[in-house]
Structure 1
Amino acid sequence: MSAEGSQSLVAPRGRPSHLLVPARTKTALALLYDEGLENAYDVRLKLTKEVLTVQKQDVICIGGAPPGANHRTVTLRRQPVGGLGLSIKGGAEHGVPVVISKIFKDQAADQTEMLFIGDAVLQVNGINVENATHEEVVHLLRNAGDDVTITVEYLREAPSFLKLPLGSPGPSSDHSSRASSPLFDSGLHLNGHCSHTAPSSPSSPIANEPKYEKRWLDTLSVPLSMARISRYKAGTEKLRSSAFEVLALDGTSTGVLQFPTAQDCADWLRAISANISDLTLQHMKMANKCCSPCDQVVHMGWVNERRQGADSPQNFRSKFLALKGSSFYIFSTPPVSTLDWGRAERVYNLCEVLFKVHKFWLSDNYWLQANLYLGLQDFDCEDPRSYCFSVLASHGKSHIFSVELGSDLAVWEKSFQRATFMEVQRIGSKTYLCSWQGEMLCFTVDFALGFTCFDSKTKNVLWRFKFSQLKGSSDDGKTRVKLLFQNLDTKQIETKRTLTNPAVKTSNRKTASLDRTASASF
């Protein structure tokens, strides 16, 4: 994919090539793929800090009195050498109009300055050819006499299989004649059937005729604030090949953007994702100005949540997650106002959930896609998506999420760790009812002191260990928690098994979650 204009990448001295810094505006050519019609059209993408713009080529009038319609009528004088100076492709038999596919420099068509590659031929000498086959139009043009009047209109969505060049018209490298085919150029640059061989004056623009120019014009602009990216085909779990679509907060979609190589696709995916992340960070900073220090937004963004037990072929649906203060939020749409924070689908206390990574990012362009069950044997973690994580809550409730990039997964993991650490640090300590060696006791996890087990009636401390003495922990997923501590005096490992009180069974996940959080964070 060729870079144009201001999208060049700048590599500061000492910066690796894979960390090139994109300029403010990035542009490149791509295909806009219609999954319904299974066809693609050439487009140009323009990426700025806040907007992704899709552009299509069109022919516009830049001087003179423009005609009342988009049609242009041009009279060509067939030349003894070079003929009409153009080639055509397409035909009704393939469901596309006949279009000009080549214009030869300094020949008849080029000298008019009114014809362009991509023009659909509508009429030849007053005869409508919009529904004509390729051979019919070729025959008509070659037998139309010395002066040929054609009416054309630029085809903005020329199917990509026509392989029309997008650059400036220039001389063809192949001037040989070949069998006429809708997918190959039928050259009309030869002598054809002209009635004489005497030199004729070439076609030339008339002074009062309007002047035209082919340009890239904006057709769709997608705001990137709170936008999301999807690499999967709608309604399926099938990953698109070197393609994705961008969907704005209001539902506006770019359509499926197809790239020539996987590297080009990855480059644009990262660039757009980075701009979305930057805008999300700005939104977080604005929101945090209205929040107390203990209720700050740590991270938020789009993910896909796996539907539990759904028979639908589309097992994932878009969700917006947020880590704010003491809570983990799940939204169907992003919170854009203060009131929206009260409209979450689900809210969990960070000290009562457990974050688990299923697959993770290994290095710059290589991804380690290995299932990491880490004790999650009670539910199915097998899914077709690459970068997944789960959040376990009380009563065995779980949510499985996927993200588009491995770097996104790394950010979510780090953000959960940070948000949980901040909440544990803020609350200081938490006490749970439990049983140990058949006695009803209290078990406290304290940010400063570590773990303490004491009699609920007498308050006598039975044992106490620091976080540094915790060497391992496990649970049965129901009521039992096992903690392995190292005795500082004997250097031996002591095992402490606790059983949550059946009457307060809801504290089951709280115990495991807070214990594991503390051991990982301190």
Structure 2
Amino acid sequence: MYNVINNARNNSSREMKINVPKMVTPIEETLEQNLKVRTGMVNVSDGKSNPEPTRLKLTMELLILQRLDSSTPSTINSEERMVQIRRDKNSGLGLSIKGGAEHKLPILISKIYRDQAADITGQLFVGDAIIKVNGEFITACEHDDTVNILRNAGDIVVLTVKHYKAATPFLQKQLARDTPDSDNDAMCVELKKDEGWKKSFNNSRPVSVASDITDRNDKKWVDIISVPLMMAYVTRFIYGTDKLRTNAFEVRGLNGVSSGIIHCDLAILSQWLKLISDNIVGLTQLQMKLYNRNFAIGERIEYMGWVNEGVINSNISWQTYKPRFLVLKGTEVMLFDSPPLSVTGLTKSSSAYKVYQTMFRVIKESETVDARQHCFLLQSSPPHTTPRYLSVETRQELLRIENSWNSTIITSVIKLGRKTFAVSHLGRSGGLTLDWQSGFSLTEGADATVVWQYKFSALRGSSDDGKSKLKLHFHDPETRSIDTKEIECQVLQSLLFCMHAFLTAKVASVDPTFLSSIQQN
């Protein structure tokens, strides 16, 4: 099943080499200048050439891609550490081992093959002793048994290793000789004579948390790309399409810098996306708080973030997508071509609508027009009649927008207070008023005489003809019957959208769960 080269059972040198394609490493966490810093190996491409192994470093404010400065020697840490290697069914580990219990020596990594699995981790070295394989001790295993254990350890192999500086010269000497027939036994005999090595091995320290392994190894990493995360744009989709990358994503910063296409295993990919997205959201919310210092309560920002808008094509609807920056502020929903970088920039949106005159609707998965999920519609009343078809990357982000929308609805309706529409009732002209405090009321005549009035909670339903006629069905508390009121309005859609906003705000304002979520945000 596995492609094993120089199998120990068939070679007196007892060297094992297992080939593996370029891989990813687990995400590691450390503290750097009192901030959480996460690192891990990924593969990065420009979308055209083959991906190359790269170190991804994530801080609270930056996503940094790094390459190893091979000209700088490494000082290898002597504590035990855990290293994860990934291989597929036709590949191997890319290393050779020597030693074993029959020699009263540990299993030592004697060679690491360039650009293969062990080498790409950047965390394994000649002179490392393998103490555990997938959490199981192998210190009492003979060489041949260890070969079998490593060969059958699975697609993801976690090695617990400890570096022994005293062993390195002996192993390097064997590599220089390049005479594999009897090197293993000769090396073991020579190594056992060294008391310093024996003492070092007997005084092994307990394994430490796999956190800052790469940094403790004191390798020098060179920054090649740095992407600011403030209001950055992260996506798994191929830019401008609905085609999802199965194992890759891209991050674009405000300064136009792109991370390139970052390729990694799906399990690691989901972790990276969450970590990066959380940092972007955290920085964006911090920027919101800074902006909101300039606004009164009813004018503050509730949400800022990237969305993707479907661009209508004459032949195929929603064929391409364009990134938009969505802002919910005060009584308005605004779309920007690029994020506002100042308070003044908030006045320069490409499109702006009153929230109480706009319908927000989450699109069911069965209703989506293409492969993109997490979609929603924004449709404003005339003269803005064309709906905006928008999507976000995750369901979590869609829920954030939905909660922020409801919060903005409450703010805008309370600030608006009341709205009156010219209507006709029983052939007479009048005004239908939506009032945040009192509910529905119909007035007629120059003195605005109240003909009927109902609380919002009395509304049991409504129906319309899609043109101008509307029926409102109220519950009469005195007769305990349904009282239907029929009116006619020339701006029916505007009335319906505004009525929906008042009702949504009323329901949300008395919902303890929703109010709690707003307070937490």
Range of TM-score over shorter length? 0.5 to 0.7
- Tell me the CA shift for residue 437 of structure 1: 2.7
Partners in 2 of 1:478 and 1:271 — Cα distance? 49
Q: Higher helix share goes to which structure?
A: 2
Residue 125 (structure 2) aligned to one of 149, 164, 169: 169
5 Å-filtered alignment, 1:109-124, equals none
Deviation string, structure 1 residues 216-243 (Cα, Å, up to 9, x no partner): 3322211100101111013432111132
Asked if residue 223 in structure 1 is aligned to residue 212 in structure 2, the reply is no
Partners in 2 of 1:470 and 1:309 — Cα distance? 41
- Tell me the CA shift for residue 276 of structure 1: 0.7
Deviating more after overlay: 161-170 vs 484-493? 161-170
- Kindly provide the amino acid, as one letter, of the partner of residue 122 in structure 2: L
2:196 is matched with which residue?
A: none
2:199 is matched with which residue?
A: none
Asked if residue 407 in structure 1 is aligned to residue 396 in structure 2, the reply is yes
Residue 426 (structure 1) aligned to one of 415, 437, 441: 415
The share of aligned pairs that are identical, in percent, is 30
CA contact (8 A) 1:243 1:257 kept: yes
CA contact (8 A) 2:64 2:224 kept: yes
- Tell me the CA shift for residue 5 of structure 1: 4.7
1:439 is matched with which residue?
A: 428
Q: How many residues align?
A: 375
Asked if residue 59 in structure 1 is aligned to residue 35 in structure 2, the reply is no
Residue 36 (structure 1) aligned to one of 30, 42, 48: 48
Distance 1:165 1:412, change over 3 A: closer
Partners in 2 of 1:214 and 1:25 — Cα distance? 16
Residue 296 (structure 1) aligned to one of 283, 295, 300: 300
5 Å-filtered alignment, 1:147-226, equals 164=120, 166-170=122-126, 190-191=178-179, 215-226=220-231
Partners in 2 of 1:452 and 1:315 — Cα distance? 46
1:462 is matched with which residue?
A: 451
- Tell me the CA shift for residue 445 of structure 1: 0.1
CA contact (8 A) 1:429 1:444 kept: yes
Asked if residue 268 in structure 1 is aligned to residue 272 in structure 2, the reply is yes
- Kindly provide the amino acid, as one letter, of the partner of residue 379 in structure 2: L
Partners in 2 of 1:349 and 1:165 — Cα distance? 53
Residue 519 (structure 1) aligned to one of 487, 494, 503: 503
- Kindly provide the amino acid, as one letter, of the partner of residue 285 in structure 1: K
Deviation string, structure 1 residues 71-90 (Cα, Å, up to 9, x no partner): xxxxxxxxxxxxxxxxxxxx
Q: Give unmatched runs, 5+ long, in structure 2.
A: 1-24, 75-93, 100-110, 129-142, 148-174, 182-186, 191-216, 507-521
- Kindly provide the amino acid, as one letter, of the partner of residue 47 in structure 2: E
Deviation string, structure 1 residues 91-139 (Cα, Å, up to 9, x no partner): xxxxxxxxxx768789xxxxxxxxx9676xxxxxxxxxxxxxxxxxxxx
The RMSD of aligned alpha carbons is 3.6
Partners in 2 of 1:519 and 1:397 — Cα distance? 23
Deviation string, structure 1 residues 247-281 (Cα, Å, up to 9, x no partner): 1011111111222124x222221111111111111
Alignment partner of 1:336: what SS?
coil
Asked if residue 280 in structure 1 is aligned to residue 284 in structure 2, the reply is yes
Asked if residue 393 in structure 1 is aligned to residue 375 in structure 2, the reply is no
- Kindly provide the amino acid, as one letter, of the partner of residue 41 in structure 2: L
Asked if residue 318 in structure 1 is aligned to residue 323 in structure 2, the reply is yes
TM-score w.r.t. structure 2 length?
0.64
CA contact (8 A) 1:102 1:169 kept: no
- Tell me the CA shift for residue 418 of structure 1: 0.7
1:471 is matched with which residue?
A: 460
Distance 1:5 1:307, change over 3 A: closer
Partners in 2 of 1:60 and 1:269 — Cα distance? 32
- Tell me the CA shift for residue 7 of structure 1: 7.7
Partners in 1 of 2:256 and 2:416 — Cα distance? 40
Partners in 1 of 2:299 and 2:66 — Cα distance? 42
Distance 1:512 1:46, change over 3 A: same
Asked if residue 25 in structure 1 is aligned to residue 50 in structure 2, the reply is no
Partners in 2 of 1:257 and 1:306 — Cα distance? 25
CA contact (8 A) 2:240 2:322 kept: no
1:251 is matched with which residue?
A: 256
Deviating more after overlay: 397-406 vs 24-33? 24-33
1:480 is matched with which residue?
A: 469
Partners in 2 of 1:457 and 1:473 — Cα distance? 28
Partners in 2 of 1:296 and 1:5 — Cα distance? 36
2:519 is matched with which residue?
A: none
1:358 is matched with which residue?
A: 363
Distance 1:408 1:494, change over 3 A: same
Deviating more after overlay: 303-312 vs 423-432? 303-312
Distance 1:4 1:347, change over 3 A: closer
- Kindly provide the amino acid, as one letter, of the partner of residue 239 in structure 1: L
Distance 1:51 1:342, change over 3 A: same
CA contact (8 A) 1:103 1:169 kept: no
CA contact (8 A) 2:233 2:252 kept: yes
Deviation string, structure 1 residues 409-437 (Cα, Å, up to 9, x no partner): 00111111111111111121000011223
Alignment partner of 2:291: what SS?
helix
